[in-house]
Amino acid sequence: MGNKITDRIDEITKIPPAYMKAELPAPKSVKIEISPRCNFRCGFCALRTRESQPKWDMDFDLFKRATREMREAGVEEIGVFYLGESFMNPKLLVDCITYLKAELKMPYVFLTSNASLSFPEAVEECMKNGLDSLKWSCNAADEEQFEKVMGVSGKLFHAAQENIKAAWEIRQSKGYKTGLYASSIRYDGEQFDKMDKLLNEKIRPYVDQHYWLPLYSMGAFATQREAELGYRPTAGNQGRWDALREPLPCWSAFTEGHLTAEGKLSACCFDAKSNWTMGDLTKQSFMEAWNSPEFVALRAAHLKKDVTGTVCESCIAY
């Protein structure tokens, strides 16, 4: 295992031989939706397809029970986010990190955030309680593009940059061990040059590593952005730009679990509308849901590289 965040990502997106089957041991990594709400309305994000935003964040007792089952089954990495922005509920976020590290001794706890709500006091509490990795999503080169793509006030563009810098300064001054990272969608042409300039000035000085991502199809939800951005989404979730994976079988259904705030286990990393629900952790154990008949059948289709007639068909069509 390398020290770089990209080494960790590549280990999850590459399906090892032991996981090339329909019924599986526990995944190494699970992402959990602490809050299903987000203060952004990004045009490329599957969250935008929800008719109404969920009102309830994850029940802490459900979180504790589910993560204990995950740890006992062999899960080693927990992402305290899934589709929403976890800093929408900073107290719950800190409580979850504290439980994972202090009670369960979870080896690796990670978080992705848009940075706009990650005020320094909350970030410091996350670091103090053992958060291993904090990655910022930085996908706009300037205020104008930010308002167009993220769909919210440009003030948040500047707030995010201030918070990213503050997080770095907190870590440097207090000696916390949290890794700080950033990722960006790799657009084309002039947009790439603008983005690279911003990253060099405002982001890269305050992170340990930055990497590029393709514009995902988000389960075929990113099509509306295709014409606007002049960029065609990739099929499925092929990982990061410099280590793209084949769309089938999709690693997301094999090596990483995805749990919604209401306790639904999904086969997809972009499941905003519960189209890929494979189990319900309010009614069954984590491993029962992970190897439910529905999940096993879907993985079998992926292994045959033919997802015709399954929920994955339109996403892979790219």
| DSSP track, 88-121 | GSHHHHHHHHHIIIIIS--SEEEEEE-SSS--HH
Instruction: Tell which wins on pLDDT, 186 or 226.
Output: 186
Mean pLDDT value of segment 182-200 = 90
DSSP 3-state helix, strand, coil percentages of the chain (rounded to 5)? Answer: 40, 15, 45
Distance CA 213, CA 241 (A): 5
- pLDDT computed for residue 220 by the predictor: 41
| Whether the Cβ atoms of residue 176 and residue 166 lie closer than 8 Å to each other | no
**pLDDT of amino acid 6:** 86
| 241 has pLDDT over 70 | no
pLDDT in tens, 278-315: 999 999 999 999 999 999 999 999 999 999 999 988 87
Strand order in the sheet with 133-137: 209-213, 179-185, 133-137, 108-113, 77-79, 29-32, 256-259, 264-266, 277-280
Residue percentage of the chain with pLDDT more than 90:
71
Q: How do residues 40-53 score in pLDDT, each as one tens digit?
A: 988 777 777 777 77
Burial of 1 (0-12, 13-18, 19+ CB in 10 A): exposed
Look at residue 237 and tell me whether its pLDDT is greater than 80: no
Q: Is the pLDDT of residue 316 over 60?
A: no
Distance CA 193, CA 215 (A): 16
230: its two tokens: 């002049």
Question: Tell me, what's the pLDDT at 1?
Answer: 33
The pTM score is 0.91
What is the residue whose two structure tokens read 């989404």?
233
- Map tokens 């399906």 to a residue: 15
Q: How confident is the model at residue 318 (pLDDT cuts 50, 70, 90)?
A: very low
Work out the pLDDT band at 219, boundaries 50, 70, 90.
very low
What number is the average pLDDT over the span 116-138?
98
Residue with the larger pLDDT of the pair 148 and 78 = 78
Q: Given this model, what pLDDT does residue 101 score?
A: 98
pLDDT of residue 168: 98
Give the model confidence (pLDDT) of 250-260 as tens digits.
999 999 999 99
The pLDDT of residue 10 is: 87
| Two tokens, residue 62 | 């459900």
pLDDT of residue 239: 61
- The average confidence (pLDDT) of the chain is 89
Instruction: Tell which wins on pLDDT, 42 or 212.
Output: 212
Instruction: Locate all alpha helices (DSSP H) within the chain, ordered by sequence.
Output: 5-13, 60-73, 90-98, 120-128, 143-150, 155-174, 189-198, 223-229, 286-290, 293-303, 313-316
Residue 92 and residue 57 in contact, taking contact as beta carbons nearer than 8 Å: yes
Question: What's CA 255's distance to the chain center, in Å?
Answer: 14
Sign of CA dihedral 195, 196, 201, 203: positive
pLDDT of 41: 85
